[in-house]
Structure 1
Amino acid sequence: MSEKKVTFKDGKKKEDDGEKEVKKVTFGGRGSRKNQFCSPTGVAVSESSEIFFADSLNERIVVCNTRGKVVRVFNTKVKRQLIQPHDVSVDKNGHLWVVATLFEVKRKAYIRRNMLAQFSKQGRFLTKIDLPLTGVTGGIGVRTDIGHIRVQATSEETTSKKKKKGGETKENDGLEKFTNSVEVVVTDQRTRMHERKGYSESCVTVFTPEGEPVKVVGPRNTRKPTGVAVNQKGDLYVTDSWLHCVHVFMEGREVTKKYKKFGRFGSGDGQLDSPHGICLDLKGNVIVVDRGNWRVSVFDSEGKFVRHIMTDMPDLCAVAAGPNFLVVTCVGHCGTDTATIIPYSNDK
């Protein structure tokens, strides 16, 4: 494979890792060996173009280069306990943030806990944030300009109230900024029964690192959020596999008044069927895994359809963008569990 070189004034040459020529390659397959996956439900790309896979059922992170070669593997251990990573993202400091589930048995009872864990790129555990008891955890995204972390999961109990100094509570419908801190966004996919019918009560809740709720968005809009991405402004792009669309929650104090969505059910241009993974490229285009239509679709930042890529590929799950390539994972019931790297241009 040919690689581009960068020549400096002093005559020295240095490899530009982010501009290497990328060829389409598919690798993996179900298993527990170093070069295999078992439910790779999340993927992220670092600034140096290293690719990180959340190998969920193998309870580990697999790191590959742009040729699909495994560079290193490390188990996702939190205080000697293995956790199942569901998605992974990289912050501005190069640290990994993993949204995961811990299964344990206490007093003959089966206990499930959800958390956000931070690791170094080499796999050293740094810190964790316990999330409210949830059913199914989902996606995670990073706002790279200030290092805010936004996590999507499935919660059983959320609230939109926060404590004041005097012990009182107030409705928190605005936005609070926590400079250089972590913002945890948890989606609630509860379904309540009323007159023998199920009603979704999904929403997206933002928590501080201490677990205190900051704001709630989307309680009247979302049904089954599955993936999340954040742009430089702090706008949230959330895929909804039940409503077959992408919700956009724009940064601002009155979040509910700054809401829009794009996409609808169907197989035509600009239509979606059970969208899942989502990410943004360097120009702010929105890349959506159109799982039901076996393809990946590209929209601009305003939701206007641009083009389809990677058509006719079943079991698509997660997607991440590098400087000149895309990475998608396939998670199926028939042992698919593969990853594919393809060349990608940010130009429309």
Structure 2
Amino acid sequence: MASKLASDDFDEQFLTCPVCMLHFRDARILPCLHTFCKQCLQEWASKQDPLECPTCRTQVSLPNQGVDGLKTNFYVSNLLDFAAVKKRAEPGVPCQVCEGNVEGPKSWCADCATLMCESCAAVHRKLPATRDHEVTAEAMLKAERGVSKFQRKRHCDKHKNHELVFYCESCNALVCTACTVVDHRPGKDHNPVEITSVAQMRKQTMQELLKQMEPRLKEIEASIKEVDRKMSKITPSKDAATNQTKAYFRQLVDMLQKREQEILSQIDEQCRVDSKGLQAKREATEFELAELTSAQTFCQQAVQHGSDVHVVEVGSQVQTRVETLLAKQVDLESNWSEFQFVENTSLFEFEKELKHFGGLETDVDISKCKIAVKPAVRGFRCVAVLTTMTKEGCRCVTNSKTVTSSMKDPSGNDVMTQLEMKSGSVWEISYSPKVTGKHRLEVKVNSQQVEGSPLDVQVQSEDTPVLTIGRPGSGVGELIGPAGVTVDADGNIAVVDLGNKRVQIFDPGNGQSLRSFPVDGKCPYGIDVDSNEGFLVTSYGEDCGIRRYSKDGELMDTFKPDCVQDPAGVTVLKDGRMVVVDNKQMSCLLLQTDGSLIREIGKGLVPRFIAVDESRDVMFVTDNEEHKIFTFDLEGNLIFSFGEEGENDGEFRDPEGIALDPTGNIIVGDGVDGRVQVFGQDGMFVRKVATAKGGEACGIALTPNGYIAVSCWKESCVEMYRYI
């Protein structure tokens, strides 16, 4: 990159913001190492929550200062300066000091960020105040090595004339010489070290990272080449398969047409034979008719016109002839029945068999394919996930025509399923069961049952937990008196295990304990996640307070302001402020990020948990003495309350846990009978979700994939219910 930028043709793409497509203006670096203009990021962040990197779509947690807190990409800034200086150093550009000497060579002072002619540069080097400045000559600017030496000096924000030459390891901050005397004096709290030594260590670390990245980059590049190679084979493979398919089905068509001609020929032959036989039969019958008609005519003439002598003469002869004709055995049956075409194979059966006429063979190995069935609940959209694999156990891309699914309910009725490709190798099979009980899911790839299919899918009722996490005890995955519950940045369930004085993190998919960390305070109770993906945990009783832990469970801060005496539920706002309910204070406390009090809200309550809708600046507080939900704005004004004591829909008996869904509905857990109810933004009852085990729904949290996690205090577990 340096060699390119040292030439006259700068790499414009490297110096261009991907959002505004202009040269970077105050370039800022996201944690994913992609760089954008500060203003572009501010506009982007105003439209998204959470912020996603415009390039790689990685979710970004901004520091408390927002975009202003992101680090500046000084390398890009220096390159932009370098490009600008090179342009100014061209003939015809005046000196920025004397504003003359248009044609002469120029030099650049990195300390003053000024372009000077030779005369001014000579004076600049002699003056006591500027003799130590780094001045780069035009020849150096034009040389390849000029980029590496072209660095604008960084000065202290507090002491403007002092260059940043130290790094305080304790504060993780760059400081100047004056700072080491005043704010960062060496001692137990501060450890300023020369930047050069720290930079050398960081460079060594980055060099090691570069070494580690090299094989990975080669692996990825090789993978891309392999993808390209396979992509180049797609069209030839398509052409070959198309030609084979057409040839195969042309043969089938030829066979069918040949069979058609055979049957048509049989029909023609049968018609000819039948016609000939019936014609012969007709002629024989007509002969018999003619003889009998002749005898009949003679007999009639004799009777009507013959004399007595004539009648006597021929009477005996007529009698003998007629009796002979009548006694003659004549076959009057035609001995023929109509013929018709017979479907030896019905069209329906043929259509079923037709599915086996040819097929597309891919690398999918049905014995290696995997099916994961997510918990199924009556009345909800449920899913199973199919992953197609090769015989080597690698994911394999296949097309929608090769994958089929079907489902039957316990009565054998069909349940409609839908297939959706999430990626080339991952398929989501969705269905909406209407009854509970064992359903049968059949999944095929290339008309063959995949491993494990058909599967038994147990569909549960909506008020039955799809998963129960934890059991009583003090071991891994065990709980004693779980209280507050929240969802961490990774979507896992974090539970305050009060009896064991720890926070335990569980996988929401299988309920397995992922990790845990101890927490201080006698009775830890409430929990929430802050903007840095850490945890804020409250504890009441002895050594009460609010403590901030890192994502890995390291204690970062402890807040024990005088206004906090018995904290329970807690919610962290996006800007880092905290809202804490305090039983002893009988109110809610809005606190700054450092724990100092902003205002007290709802004095006189007996609060337990709290939820905040920041889009409307509204907070909801459970009061288990009044059996109500109180609603305040963040200025402390009471807006309304709802609920009353009782066991009917919309009533409460010691409401405790509370959460909000994405539409603003309010989910409340009951502390006596365990009911979990949903209310609209206006407090009107919507529906009952479930009744928690043991009759006490303490903490409540809604997961991103539409489940409610309910901590059951008495049963020492967390139950997961389907919500959306």
**Structure 1 length as normaliser, TM-score?**
0.70
Whether 1:315 and 2:696 are equivalent positions in the alignment is yes
Whether 1:72 and 2:453 are equivalent positions in the alignment is no
Give me the whole-angstrom Cα distance separating, in 2, the residues matched to 1:210 and 1:122: 21
Q: Report the CA distance between 1:292 and its aligned residue.
A: 2.4
Larger Rg: 2
Asked whether the 8 Å contact 1:134–1:154 carries over to 2, the reply is: no
Match of 2:708 in 1: 326
Give me the whole-angstrom Cα distance separating, in 2, the residues matched to 1:93 and 1:137: 22
Asked whether the 8 Å contact 1:63–1:71 carries over to 2, the reply is: yes
Match of 1:267 in 2: 647
Q: What is the one-letter code of the residue matched to 2:700?
A: V
Q: Report the CA distance between 1:288 and its aligned residue.
A: 0.4
Q: How does 1:53-64 map to 2 (within 5 A)?
A: 53-64=495-506
Give me the whole-angstrom Cα distance separating, in 2, the residues matched to 1:136 and 1:37: 23
Q: How does 1:48-127 map to 2 (within 5 A)?
A: 48-66=490-508, 67-77=510-520, 84-101=523-540, 112-127=542-557
Q: Could you say what secondary structure the match of 1:41 adopts?
A: strand
Match of 1:28 in 2: 470
Deviation track 1:88-136 (CA, whole Å, cap 9, x = no partner) reads 111232111111247xxxxxxxxx2211111122112211211438664
Give me the whole-angstrom Cα distance separating, in 1, the residues matched to 2:497 and 2:556: 19
Instruction: Pick from 270, 281, 286 the counterpart of residue 661 of structure 2.
Output: 281
Q: Report the CA distance between 1:205 and its aligned residue.
A: 3.0
Q: How does 1:1-348 map to 2 (within 5 A)?
A: 1-2=372-373, 7=422, 24-66=466-508, 67-77=510-520, 84-101=523-540, 112-132=542-562, 136-144=566-574, 146-155=575-584, 188=585, 202-219=586-603, 222-233=604-615, 234-252=617-635, 255-256=636-637, 258-311=638-691, 313=693, 314-323=695-704, 324-332=706-714, 336-345=715-724
Give me the whole-angstrom Cα distance separating, in 1, the residues matched to 2:425 and 2:679: 40
Deviation track 1:53-100 (CA, whole Å, cap 9, x = no partner) reads 0001211110001121111111125xxxx6542111112321111112
Give me the whole-angstrom Cα distance separating, in 1, the residues matched to 2:488 and 2:511: 15
Q: Report the CA distance between 1:209 and its aligned residue.
A: 4.3
Q: Could you say what secondary structure the match of 2:676 adopts?
A: strand
Q: Report the CA distance between 1:208 and its aligned residue.
A: 3.0
Superposition RMSD in Å: 2.7
Give me the whole-angstrom Cα distance separating, in 1, the residues matched to 2:494 and 2:538: 13
Asked whether the 8 Å contact 1:224–1:240 carries over to 2, the reply is: yes
Give me the whole-angstrom Cα distance separating, in 2, the residues matched to 1:319 and 1:312: 11
Q: Report the CA distance between 1:47 and its aligned residue.
A: 4.0
> Structure 2, unaligned stretches of length 5 or more?
1-371, 374-383, 388-420, 429-459
Q: Report the CA distance between 1:294 and its aligned residue.
A: 2.5
Asked whether the 8 Å contact 1:76–1:83 carries over to 2, the reply is: no
Do the aligned partners of residues 290 and 216 (structure 1) sit closer, same or farther apart at CA in structure 2, a change above 3 Å counting?
A: same
Q: Between the two proteins, what is the percent identity of the paired residues?
A: 26
Asked whether the 8 Å contact 2:503–2:518 carries over to 1, the reply is: yes
Greater share of helix residues, 1 or 2? Answer: 2
Give me the whole-angstrom Cα distance separating, in 2, the residues matched to 1:210 and 1:319: 26
Asked whether the 8 Å contact 1:114–1:133 carries over to 2, the reply is: no
Greater share of strand residues, 1 or 2? Answer: 1
Q: What is the one-letter code of the residue matched to 2:553?
A: G
Kindly indicate whether structure 1 or structure 2 has the higher relative contact order, using CA contacts under 8 Å at least 6 residues apart: 1
Deviation track 1:148-205 (CA, whole Å, cap 9, x = no partner) reads 32222233xxxxxxxxxxxxxxxxxxxxxxxxxxxxxxxx2xxxxxxxxxxxxx3323
Give me the whole-angstrom Cα distance separating, in 2, the residues matched to 1:87 and 1:309: 23
Give me the whole-angstrom Cα distance separating, in 2, the residues matched to 1:147 and 1:136: 21
Query: How many residue pairs are counted as aligned between the two chains?
Result: 271
